């Protein structure tokens, strides 16, 4: 019974294909913004500091420094407003939650790029 329900649920909710990324990666999230009757796409580029949840409630947090001030934004994976996600750099980190970046600034807040 539950297998049939999950099958129908997967068919109805169109899940966009995003690149595989993890905490420490630098991504650009292209997000739809509605202002009045107009709709535009705004890009938010920064480092992923955490990914949480699973299924429909999964979200990821992106942090960037804008004019010397840290800005964090939470994006749901299942949101229809997330237009696309572009993976810019793969970061070399040793943990899944990078909250220590909040206390750091300048060179100390940089994440090394993983070389392949």
Task: Report the domain count for the chain.
Answer: 1
pLDDT band at residue 109 under the 50/70/90 scheme: confident
Instruction: Measure the CA–CA gap between 90 and 47, rounded to whole angstroms.
Output: 10
Query: CATH number of the domain that 80 lies in?
Result: 2.30.30.790
Domain membership flag for residue 29: yes
What are the contacts of 104-108 at 24+ separation with CB within 8 A?
105/65, 105/70
The predicted-structure confidence for 2-43, as pLDDT tens digits, reads as follows 777 777 766 666 667 788 899 999 999 999 999 888 999 999
The tokens for 71 are 């800005």
The mean pLDDT of 87-116, rounded to a whole number, is 89
Domain hosting residue 58, numbered range: 19-104
The predicted structure's pLDDT at residue 14: 62
pTM of the model: 0.80
- Mean pLDDT of all residues belonging to the chain: 88
């Amino acid at each position: 019974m539950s297998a049939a329900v999950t099958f129908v649920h997967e068919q109805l909710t169109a899940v966009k294909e995003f690149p595989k990324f993890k905490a420490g990666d630098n991504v650009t999230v292209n997000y739809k913004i509605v202002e009045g009757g107009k709709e535009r796409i705004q890009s938010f580029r920064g480092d992923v500091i955490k990914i949480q949840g699973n299924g429909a409630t999964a979200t990821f947090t992106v942090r960037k420094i804008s004019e010397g001030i840290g800005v964090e934004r939470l994006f749901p994976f299942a949101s229809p407003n997330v237009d696309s996600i572009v993976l810019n750099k793969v970061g070399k980190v040793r943990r899944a939650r990078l909250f220590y970046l909040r206390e750091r600034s300048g060179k100390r807040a940089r994440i090394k790029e993983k070389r392949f």
